[in-house]
Chains A and B, each alone.
Chain A
Amino acid sequence: MDIYTSISINYLPKARILAKSVKKFHPEWTFHLLISDRLTDKDKSAWDIDFNKEPFDRVVWIDSLDVDNVYGWIFKHTVVEQCTAGKGVFLQQLIKEGAEKIIYLDPDIAVFNQLNPLVDLLDDHAILLTPHLLDFSNVHQSILENEIQGTLRHGTFNLGFLAINSKKDDGKQFADWWGSRLYNYCYADYDSGLFTDQKWCDLVPSYFKDFHVIRDPGYNTASWNLDKRFLSFTDGGRIQINYKYPLRFYHFTGCDSGAGLYMTQRYSNGNQVPLEIWAWYQRQLKANGQEILRNQKWSYDYYNNGVKITNDDRQIYRQRKDLQEAFPNPFNSSNPIKHIA
């Protein structure tokens, strides 16, 4: 089993927590970390990063991926878009390398119990997806926040989780289709109906037959579905959802902004357990370098001469083929976009 996540360096504390939580239950799985960022040796020593001691089996840098004009591609994206776009391309690379069953998890996820049922499900299905919501609520606030502003806007499925079996036809085809879309159209562009990698997967039920929607609420529990998922403990101390399903993994969406905790408080209806889990996650972040790393700037937000890349620069470069051809590595230029435009 291969499992991976995708980050910029400020998300390293989260990726550490995720990888450790996966390894606790599945030490034999291979954990790949894709980093869309650049790091000098000085950064590494200042921020206490030693990839020989990190809990990842393999670290892959975005500019080492085998894609056309990698720096031009990166330049088109904001940090969130780029980390997301890398998911599809890296999935294709893992398949090329021979990986069969592959799981993607967002870095702000932590695993709480073993994920073996996924291994079995991938024997029967090519693609596994988790919807944001499994049950509807008729409470206005939940309709507004979780359906209208959440799922209908950002996609039915939450792509914090994805699993495929590349040896099945639909698994391989999905990876090629999705990877290609993410290479070309992984933008948070609501006006165009896009939201990075997620909205694309609304098309999965149309294009592919061999997919499976995981309806077990123990997967991908998060603030947006908490009003329909009650967390409690068994006598043996296992966290369970709705008194029945073991909590497999929890998604700490909105952790850095504080919105996640706020929404969790709102939707936990007085239940302390989700708040205890959040408190644990915040302690883990602290123990994994969050205070130093959370505020590190994204290196691809700057030209190589240190000038900040503006949103306009990206937009123009994204749209103008001539610029893309003239400046295959726009980072090397000294603010070239403004000069030409």
Chain B
Amino acid sequence: MLAKWKEYRIIKKSGLFDPAYYLLNNPDVRNADVDPLSHFIKQGWKEGRQPSAIFDTNFYLQKNPDVNHSGINPLIHYLKHGKKEGRAAKQIDQIAKTENANLFAASFEANNSTPIITPDRIESSKQLLDKLQQYLKYNDYIISISHDTYINNIGGVQLMVSSEQSAANAHGISYLHLHPNTFKPTLVLENGSFYISVNCDGKNIGIIDDEGLLAALKQLKPRKLMDVYIHHTMGFYLNVIYRILNEIGDVKGRFWLHDNFSICPSFYLLRNDVEYCGGPDIDSNACLICRYGEIRRKQQSAFKEFFSETHMEVRAPSSFTLELWKEKVLPERLSGIVVPLLELKWTGKMLPRNKKDPVRIGFVGFPVNHKGWPAWLRLMEKNANDERYKYYHLSSSYGNSDECTWINVAVSEKDRLAMVKALQNNKIDIAFLWSLCPESFSFTLHESLAAGCYLITNKNSGNIQDYLKKNPARGLVLDNEQDLFKLFSGDELISYVNTYQKNGKPQAELIFFNEFEESEN
């Protein structure tokens, strides 16, 4: 058996693994923010997931029982032996279909619930109560709710939850984090056996059903519940949150809008994962033909009931997100405020670019469809012979393109400035932030600005375009790809960049939002 790293190298080199395709078709992987190829090698192929539109895992295993019995990753087998032996990578007549119609979230359709982790089951509320008393470090505590465990997964929301826990603990407040024990890309809409995984101050203490949890929380004395922070409700049963707010302590609760999940389970607001739809009326043609339409209708009524019966404060990381949410969800009883996840403190200037050198353009972030990766590939292809430009891709995930230089950058809680440093070190002049759907906040926007980049975005990019409309000197908002190609073929872009860097590249510090610092002030 090949070592995993060797498999990784073979597959990566082959071009038969398309990270964008993989992330697009596997929202749970996308959501977990893990390296897609590692995921495929570790478990994805065993779960019948497709590495790209060109290779069909299930077809290959069905057609080749010898491979199926061997337990070898079928893609590795194909690359090492199958290809030479003339074995088919997939059924021929499926190829045309796959290129188009199958670009959907198949796992959403199947609505699979897959266990995230399988920690110890807590048998009774008494047992949970004992554990809570044992593991909660402080008397005052906060309940925090999100869709997965922030302890193992790294992503925007997880980073924030993680920092929130550190900050709470630093202020002598315990952090009781709850997340659904199984991954489900929608709300849980019916009462059933709903299991919740419980973390105390960063330590997982087990899973318990909702009734057991509520019974234990009611008896958690003399501890005091300070507030309930809801970061994400994916996979959660809203009724449990409602009961926590109403039955445990006298708190208002905070509901964070980290994305548009409370508008639609397609939280990027991409109809059929294909195109930005803006979350139109549920009776529209768009919702009719969208795979998320039916479940959106059910979620809408669940959220409506939830919002109308609570008094939570709604927090959005940007005014764009708050306004969109107000327009689409509009619970009149609730108040909403904008709390940016970080702010820029403009400091000094760095040396401007050498005008004799090509302008350096960076694609910042994951190479996936909704971040504009296909548009990026087309842009590089169109300008392949234009020596005025040089292309870079800054991400922890390789995008499988030779047209740009890949710079492996991983932002973590320990190294939150990794992207800013990478942009600066590689002297990136322009950040290409072509999100096809609204960014609720966009760390990459702020990182790129802090590193002195001039920005290019499109009109659907949410907070990115909103920022540029308010700060037009810092970048361009384009209508579509045609305008993008036109911009690159002309001379204006270079002169815009030169103007932006005229007195040196503007630099900024990132000041991260800290809930507890704020309340002290």
Known A276-B271, A277-B289; judge A237-B101 contact (CB<8 A): no
* 1/0 contact string of A223-261 vs chain B (CB within 8 Å): 000000000010111110000000100000000000001
Q: Is B96 an interface residue (CB 8 A)?
A: yes
The reply to whether B288 and A280 contact each other, CB–CB distance below 8 Å, is yes
The reply to whether B96 and A265 contact each other, CB–CB distance below 8 Å, is yes
Provide the residues of chain A in CB contact with B286, threshold 8 Å. Answer: 233, 237-239
Secondary structure type dominating chain B contacts: loop
Provide the residues of chain A in CB contact with B217, threshold 8 Å. Answer: none
The reply to whether B101 and A279 contact each other, CB–CB distance below 8 Å, is yes
Q: Is A310 an interface residue (CB 8 A)?
A: no
Known A262-B96, A275-B100, A275-B101; judge A280-B280 contact (CB<8 A): no
The reply to whether A272 and B284 contact each other, CB–CB distance below 8 Å, is no
Interface centre among B96, B100, B277, B291 (most CB of A within 10 A): B100
Residue from the list A233, A239, A277 in contact with B275, Cβ < 8 A: A233
Chain A contact residue count (CB 8 A cutoff): 20
Residue from the list A112, A235, A265, A277 in contact with B280, Cβ < 8 A: A235
Provide the residues of chain A in CB contact with B274, threshold 8 Å. Answer: 272, 276
Known A272-B274, A272-B275; judge A261-B101 contact (CB<8 A): yes
* 1/0 contact string of A171-205 vs chain B (CB within 8 Å): 00000000000000000000000000000000000
The reply to whether B271 and A233 contact each other, CB–CB distance below 8 Å, is yes
The reply to whether B285 and A233 contact each other, CB–CB distance below 8 Å, is yes
Interface centre among B96, B101, B280, B291 (most CB of A within 10 A): B101
Q: Is A71 an interface residue (CB 8 A)?
A: no
The reply to whether B285 and A261 contact each other, CB–CB distance below 8 Å, is no
Q: Is A298 an interface residue (CB 8 A)?
A: no
B46 to chain A, nearest CB (A): 27
Nearest neighbor of B100 in chain A, beta-carbon distance: A275
Q: Is B281 an interface residue (CB 8 A)?
A: yes
A148 to chain B, nearest CB (A): 24
> Bound state CA distance, A112 and B288, in angstroms?
9
> Bound state CA distance, A233 and B286, in angstroms?
7
Chain B contact residue count (CB 8 A cutoff): 22
> Bound state CA distance, A277 and B100, in angstroms?
12
Provide the residues of chain B in CB contact with A276, threshold 8 Å. Answer: 101, 271-272, 274, 289-290
Q: Is A324 an interface residue (CB 8 A)?
A: no
Nearest neighbor of B285 in chain A, beta-carbon distance: A239
> Bound state CA distance, A277 and B101, in angstroms?
10
The reply to whether B272 and A236 contact each other, CB–CB distance below 8 Å, is no
Provide the residues of chain A in CB contact with B97, threshold 8 Å. Answer: 261, 265
Provide the residues of chain A in CB contact with B284, threshold 8 Å. Answer: 236-238
Q: Is B455 an interface residue (CB 8 A)?
A: no
Q: Is A278 an interface residue (CB 8 A)?
A: yes
> Bound state CA distance, A236 and B286, in angstroms?
8
Provide the residues of chain A in CB contact with B75, threshold 8 Å. Answer: none
> Bound state CA distance, A113 and B288, in angstroms?
11
Provide the residues of chain A in CB contact with B277, threshold 8 Å. Answer: 233, 237
> Bound state CA distance, A197 and B101, in angstroms?
33
Which residues, 40 to 93 on A, are CB-close (under 8 Å) to B? Answer: none
Provide the residues of chain B in CB contact with A233, threshold 8 Å. Answer: 271, 275, 277, 285-286
Known A233-B275, A233-B277; judge A112-B101 contact (CB<8 A): no
> Bound state CA distance, A233 and B276, in angstroms?
10
The reply to whether B287 and A279 contact each other, CB–CB distance below 8 Å, is no
* 1/0 contact string of A249-293 vs chain B (CB within 8 Å): 000000000000110010000001001111110010000000000
Nearest neighbor of A247 in chain B, beta-carbon distance: B285
Provide the residues of chain A in CB contact with B96, threshold 8 Å. Answer: 262, 265
Provide the residues of chain B in CB contact with A272, threshold 8 Å. Answer: 100, 103, 272, 274-275
> Bound state CA distance, A239 and B271, in angstroms?
12
Which residues, 86 to 109 on B, are CB-close (under 8 Å) to A? Answer: 96-97, 100-101, 103-104
Nearest neighbor of A270 in chain B, beta-carbon distance: B100
* 1/0 contact string of B284-309 vs chain A (CB within 8 Å): 11111111000000000000000000
Provide the residues of chain B in CB contact with A236, threshold 8 Å. Answer: 280-281, 284
Q: Is B156 an interface residue (CB 8 A)?
A: no
Q: Is B358 an interface residue (CB 8 A)?
A: no
Known A272-B274, A276-B272; judge A237-B100 contact (CB<8 A): no
Nearest neighbor of A240 in chain B, beta-carbon distance: B285
Provide the residues of chain A in CB contact with B271, threshold 8 Å. Answer: 233, 237, 276
> Bound state CA distance, A265 and B103, in angstroms?
14
Provide the residues of chain A in CB contact with B287, threshold 8 Å. Answer: 237
* 1/0 contact string of A158-175 vs chain B (CB within 8 Å): 000000000000000000
> Bound state CA distance, A247 and B286, in angstroms?
12
Q: Is B278 an interface residue (CB 8 A)?
A: yes
> Bound state CA distance, A295 and B280, in angstroms?
38
> Bound state CA distance, A319 and B103, in angstroms?
52
Provide the residues of chain A in CB contact with B275, threshold 8 Å. Answer: 233, 272
Provide the residues of chain A in CB contact with B103, threshold 8 Å. Answer: 272
A246 to chain B, nearest CB (A): 9
Provide the residues of chain B in CB contact with A265, threshold 8 Å. Answer: 96-97, 100
Given A233-B275, A272-B103, A276-B290, 17 extra CB contacts under 8 A: A233-B271, A233-B285, A235-B280, A237-B284, A237-B287, A238-B286, A247-B285, A276-B271, A276-B272, A276-B274, A276-B289, A277-B289, A278-B101, A279-B104, A279-B272, A279-B289, A280-B288
B interface, CB within 8 angstroms of A: 96-97, 100-101, 103-104, 271-272, 274-275, 277-278, 280-281, 284-291
A interface, CB within 8 angstroms of B: 112-113, 233, 235-239, 247, 261-262, 265, 272, 275-280, 283
**CB<8 Å pairs between A and B, sample of 12:** A233-B285, A235-B280, A237-B278, A237-B281, A239-B289, A265-B96, A265-B97, A272-B272, A276-B274, A279-B101, A279-B291, A280-B289
Which 6 A-B pairs give the minimum distances between C-beta atoms?
A237-B280, A237-B284, A237-B286, A280-B289, A239-B285, A275-B101
